Amino acid sequence: MLECPKCKSELIKTKHCYQCVNHHSFDIAKRGYVNLLLGNHKATGDDKEMVKARTIFLSHGYYTHLKNRLIELLKDKQIKTLADAGCGQGFYTNAIHDALQCDTYGFDLSKYAVDEACKAHNGVFYGVCNIFHMPLSDESCDGVLSVFAPVDMKENARVLKSGGYFIKVGPGPKHLLEMKQELYKEVYENTVETGYAGFTLCHEELLEYTIDLQNAHDIKALFQMTPYYWRTPKESVEHLLSLSVLTTRVSFHITIYRKEEA
């Protein structure tokens, strides 16, 4: 299932590391994850502050409806082996693993996020890596999950078995509309796109509801979870962060694709 990122041979777990037949070795961190980035690649992803903010925000239940819906959908597909490509701090990964009791692999570029995910100690394999190059053998997964993460369909197709499922969650048209109205004079709805070569769309839905943020800390944490955090003018950011309450809708576009038979 796991393969060496250097030579593509099988990785075997020993007491303190994962090692292949060519003696390429990857230490198991104290928390339990494995850093599978090669020496010439520097990890980036979410920093420690962003991971902490996201963890607190998600623990307050704002996205619990999405988590529960994903569990329902994945149960229906009877997935036995799942890779979460861009798992973050494992909010969805750990919940799905606990509910389905499937073999679960979580990958993210942020070592801080993966370290946080490992705190569950529930048997999920967590690795720090680029999700465009997952350390998984060809056609080894029944499902690949992507929640608000970059997508590489060539890599997803490689690791998915024939007939396996790609489950994607992205922003719906009106996701965080009211928060955006606090930031910008002109607000546009998000564009939703579907369709991937070699995959059949077998399910599509919008999950929408309203959340009430009751303190400035949660407002800031939500803002940090969005791409607007990196490209919003300073004055608009200051205005948003001056708010003590915020009511905004969330809109999740959920799609499930089935890999077509070869």
116-156 pLDDT, tens digit per residue, is 999 999 999 999 999 999 999 999 999 999 999 999 999 99
Per-residue model confidence (pLDDT) at position 49: 87
Per-residue model confidence (pLDDT) at position 40: 58
Per-residue model confidence (pLDDT) at position 45: 74
Per-residue model confidence (pLDDT) at position 38: 81
Per-residue model confidence (pLDDT) at position 42: 59
Does residue 41 carry a pLDDT above 60? no
Per-residue model confidence (pLDDT) at position 173: 97
Task: Read off the pTM.
Answer: 0.94
| Type of residue at 82 | L
99-111 pLDDT tens trace: 999 999 999 999 9
Beta bridge partners of 212: 247
